[in-house]
Structure 1
């Protein structure tokens, strides 16, 4: 068993949010990542999909989530299960803090991107998928 100290938490910042990673494969965990998301008021994340299911528990604030075309509203105390490979976009008027768990690695991709013409699969190419720093 390992202990990951708060001083070893990893902070990643995007234009829309700050993610603080508490556990991940690169921090001693085997296949699970756990991080906190703090999204600023008025922010909107990009449309994307993830290769693995994610579980988000909202601690403060609220968010609007477009999940595969379904409009969801979540707030403090709610837990949201985001299926693998489902298009999602998160936005917030007031800001929020959530804790998120997911298996790792899990790469993000644009669900509207497709392989070049003539390719067998109608899915984004591996080269177009990115492992976010907070999940690694």
Structure 2
């Protein structure tokens, strides 16, 4: 067993939120990556595609999730399963949101207005 602490060295901040890496291949988990996402009030990810299924589990706050044009709300005690290849966007409302996210390692993301795809460093 391995206990993993969040550290600044494994935290990435983007305009949409802050991702803190937890379990992943670089920390001994070869089949699952997990991370904590913190988003400020009124934040939104860009519309993007990830080539792996993801499961989002809110631990505080509320989120709006749009997947291939279908919009739903989620809150603590719920989970959103977002399929690989789906166009997605995650937003917060008037308050901050925090969620745990998991997926199979090695995922890459692409954004419509940018060419190519990029790895998710918090999932490695």
TM-score normalised by length of structure 2: 0.89
- Unmatched segments (≥5 aa) in structure 1: 114-123
Give the TM-score taking structure 1 as reference length. Answer: 0.82
Offset, 1:7: 5.7
Once residues 5 and 34 of structure 1 are traced to their aligned partners in structure 2, the CA distance between those partners, rounded to angstroms, is 11
Map of 1:12-31 to 2, 5 A cutoff? 12-31=12-31
Q: Distance in 1 between matches of 2:96 and 2:4?
A: 27
* Cα separation, 2, equivalents of 1:129 and 1:89: 16
**Residues paired across the two proteins, number:** 122
Report the Cα offset of residue 128 of structure 1: 0.5
| Pairing 1:36-51 to 2, within 5 Å after superposition | 36-51=36-51
Runs of 4+ aligned residues of structure 1 deviating over 3 Å after TM superposition are: none
Contact 1:42–1:92 (CA under 8 A) maintained in structure 2: yes
Instruction: Note the aligned Cα RMSD (angstroms).
Output: 1.9
User: Take 1:58 and 1:40, find their aligned partners in 2: how far apart are those partners?
Assistant: 14
Partner of 1:135: 123
* Aligned position for 1:118: none
In structure 1, what is the Cα distance between the partners aligned to 2:80 and 2:22?
A: 19
1:97 equivalenced with 2:94 (yes/no): no
Matched residue, 2:59: 59
* 2:76 aligned residue: 76
Deviation at 1:16, TM superposition (A): 1.6
- Give distance in 2, aligned partners of 1:57 and 1:129: 25
Write out per-residue CA displacement over residues 77-123 of structure 1, whole angstroms, 9 at most, x where no aligned residue.
1100000000001111112111011001000013x46xxxxxxxxxx
Alpha-carbon deviation of 1:42?
Answer: 0.8
